Structure 1
Amino acid sequence: MDALSDAIIAMHVGRPHANHHELRAPWGMRFTADRGGAFHIVLQGSCWLLPPHGAPAIRLGTGDVVFLHGAGTHGLADSPASPLTEFDLGRQGAWPSGDGELATVLCGAYLLDGGRTHPLMSEVPPVVHLPARLGRHPSLRAAVDLLADEMGRARPGAAAIVPALLDALLLYILRAWFEERAEEPAAGGWTMALADPAIAAALSAIHSAPDRQWTVAALGARAGLSRAAFAHRFATLVGQPPLTYLTWWRMTIAARLLRESDTPLHAVARQTGYSSDVAFAAAFKREHGITPGRYRAVHEQPRDSGARRGA
């Protein structure tokens, strides 16, 4: 297990969705803000991203990928001056457009739990633009090609393949952004934590076995550092001491189990490293403000409710 994968798995709820559009200028789409993230990929031609809050428009070329999260309402159009029509998942038929230059785009959305955002996501900007560059991020490009091929024509198995590709795409986008950020001289925080072999080893240990009775010394040994050196480096890069992060992650796992499964409370406690139900309940209440049983009653929801709005 690794921190990036687990961070997305912990936040991810519902099924992602995507739409394939062939559009001729003039055209414009407005995507209403909702909890989660959205992506846009230009497969052919060019267009403009109109970011939230009046930020300057961004020109997108063939192969460009954009990811937005927690950013607010945004637009996509052939020109910054084109009027925008509200995007609606239930809309039938082709999107309204003219007879000008052709653009082919993939637009999709993820439903993410903003109430328990992993701290590494705090470093990801509201708008991530990954321009197409020869030789850069081949795995991301391969995922885009596969997704475009599946959505460009109806074939058996697509209903299962497309959601899996969308999940992979989100991880490829974030991995690409972290890799690019790590190349910057001023990079720090979680960007460097994921790139630091010692801290990455400790994070992998925590995420692989959150139920283990970890100590700072034991995690330091996994990292190949002395207790003091490890504690200092971990806190500097991750933003909190090792055992504080361990508790935070355990409570994140516990909340997800309570929301999305029927696992008994005592089993949730054991899976998150607590041999005592009382100790688990106390730790959970400190983190979430309510008892585990009450949390489950408040947050229980239909399985795989899916996304209703977004890109």
Structure 2
Amino acid sequence: MDLLSEAISAIRTGHPTSGMFVRHAPWGRAYPVVPGSGFHVVLQGSCWLVPPDGEPMALGVGDVIFMPRGADHLLVDSLDSAVTEQARPGEPREIAGPGARCVLVCGAYELGRQRSHPLLDELPEFIHLPARPGRHPALRGAVDLLAAEISEPRAGTDAAIPALLETLLLFALRAWFDDRADAPTGWAAAFTDPAVATALRAMHEAPERGWAVPELAAVAGVSRATLARRFTATVGEPPLSYLTRWRMLTAARLLRESDTPLSTVARKVGYQSEFAFAKAFKREYGLAPGQYRRAEDQPAVIAV
């Protein structure tokens, strides 16, 4: 089982959105917090990303900037430019001006609003993936295909763009983890630690099983103490704490994406009693399972 794909699929909701924006200097655009993840790709020209805290980041052609938790920020052509726009539905995709032209693809992914996954939780607020020759060719290819579909729509574009956006998200995260392969920490290390990865796959493949640390350690081929130590150091929590989190994320996904009866959802995530499942779910999400299902039927509106 592909751990990265599973983690993202567990918290992805709704449909990704994107658009191409053309701005001529001087310009400045504010991006408020979004209930999900966002990204920008510079296709032409250059600009600056200004976070609420920390140093501005210079972005050039081909650069990808990814915001795992949809943090608020500014984009400006120059650090001296005033901010005169705010991202909102229906705003003009192109604004003329006397200065240099900048072309951006901006997009957002809706995520489950009550609970995230620790893989995303540990990422920085802003991930800058510069365009470097020979680096991350798959990501570069996804960027090029997405830009072509947005700039010149053809038959099938409405189907192609969501698929390319999903691919871009996975390739951006893969690039981030690949860049840390020489000295992995956190989830980058979890992916490369055979024992931890095996234990994670076992829980992901069968969350309904009554896993205990000795059983997981046997599957992983290490001692209980070794698994507990390495799992906690990389994943950020002990094995059985993560198991509970994964069960709840899986349950939330089933509630969002299907009309599966609550009793069946409970069994699929390791609870023989619907009451025990409902109690555990409410403890994690603050809502009973049925309330959560109804709330998630109301999609968020994300401006890009």
Moved more, 238-247 or 145-154: 238-247
Mapped to 1, the partners of 2:64 and 2:273 lie a distance apart of: 47
C-alpha contact (below 8 Å) 1:27/1:97 kept by paired residues: no
Q: Are 2:107 and 1:108 equivalent residues in the alignment?
A: yes
C-alpha contact (below 8 Å) 1:25/1:78 kept by paired residues: yes
Equivalent residue number for residue 265 of structure 2: 268
Aligned equivalent of 2:289, options 295, 303, 306: 295
Mapped to 1, the partners of 2:283 and 2:103 lie a distance apart of: 49
- 1:191-202 matched pairs, under 5 angstroms: 191-202=188-199
CA-to-partner distance for each residue in 1:34-69, whole Å, 9 max, x for gaps? 22121110112211112224x322111111100113
- Measured after TM superposition, the shift of residue 160 of structure 1 is 1.2
Secondary structure (helix, strand or coil) at the match of 1:91 reads coil
Call closer, same or farther: CA 1:227–1:58 in 2, change over 3 Å: same
- Measured after TM superposition, the shift of residue 282 of structure 1 is 4.2
Gaps of 5+ in 1: none
- Measured after TM superposition, the shift of residue 121 of structure 1 is 1.4
Equivalent residue number for residue 28 of structure 2: 28
CA-to-partner distance for each residue in 1:145-166, whole Å, 9 max, x for gaps? 1111111101011111101111
C-alpha contact (below 8 Å) 2:16/2:162 kept by paired residues: yes
CA-to-partner distance for each residue in 1:114-136, whole Å, 9 max, x for gaps? 42111121210001101111111
Mapped to 2, the partners of 1:37 and 1:288 lie a distance apart of: 20
Call closer, same or farther: CA 1:75–1:287 in 2, change over 3 Å: closer
Secondary structure (helix, strand or coil) at the match of 2:208 reads coil
Call closer, same or farther: CA 1:300–1:275 in 2, change over 3 Å: same
Secondary structure (helix, strand or coil) at the match of 1:99 reads coil
- Measured after TM superposition, the shift of residue 81 of structure 1 is 1.7
Letter of the aligned partner of 1:238 in structure 2?
A: V
Equivalent residue number for residue 37 of structure 1: 37
- Measured after TM superposition, the shift of residue 285 of structure 1 is 4.3
C-alpha contact (below 8 Å) 1:13/1:113 kept by paired residues: yes
- 1:1-311 matched pairs, under 5 angstroms: 1-53=1-53, 55-70=54-69, 72-84=71-83, 85-92=85-92, 94-184=93-183, 187-288=184-285, 294-301=288-295, 303=297, 305=299, 307-311=300-304
CA-to-partner distance for each residue in 1:252-292, whole Å, 9 max, x for gaps? 211232344321111101111223334434433444455xx
Letter of the aligned partner of 1:178 in structure 2?
A: F
C-alpha contact (below 8 Å) 1:253/1:272 kept by paired residues: yes
Mapped to 2, the partners of 1:191 and 1:18 lie a distance apart of: 28
C-alpha contact (below 8 Å) 1:32/1:310 kept by paired residues: no
Call closer, same or farther: CA 1:57–1:97 in 2, change over 3 Å: farther
C-alpha contact (below 8 Å) 1:52/1:71 kept by paired residues: no
- Measured after TM superposition, the shift of residue 297 of structure 1 is 2.3
Cα RMSD of the aligned pairs, angstroms, is: 2.2
Call closer, same or farther: CA 1:150–1:11 in 2, change over 3 Å: same
Secondary structure (helix, strand or coil) at the match of 1:116 reads coil
Mapped to 2, the partners of 1:281 and 1:23 lie a distance apart of: 50
Mapped to 1, the partners of 2:238 and 2:71 lie a distance apart of: 33
C-alpha contact (below 8 Å) 2:255/2:292 kept by paired residues: no
Call closer, same or farther: CA 1:119–1:148 in 2, change over 3 Å: same
Mapped to 2, the partners of 1:57 and 1:236 lie a distance apart of: 32
Q: TM-score, normalised by structure 2?
A: 0.90
Mapped to 2, the partners of 1:90 and 1:261 lie a distance apart of: 31
Secondary structure (helix, strand or coil) at the match of 1:182 reads coil
Mapped to 2, the partners of 1:196 and 1:114 lie a distance apart of: 30
C-alpha contact (below 8 Å) 1:42/1:104 kept by paired residues: yes
Letter of the aligned partner of 1:87 in structure 2?
A: A
Q: Percent identity?
A: 50
Call closer, same or farther: CA 1:97–1:74 in 2, change over 3 Å: farther
| Aligned length, in residue pairs | 303
Mapped to 2, the partners of 1:161 and 1:284 lie a distance apart of: 36
C-alpha contact (below 8 Å) 1:140/1:173 kept by paired residues: yes
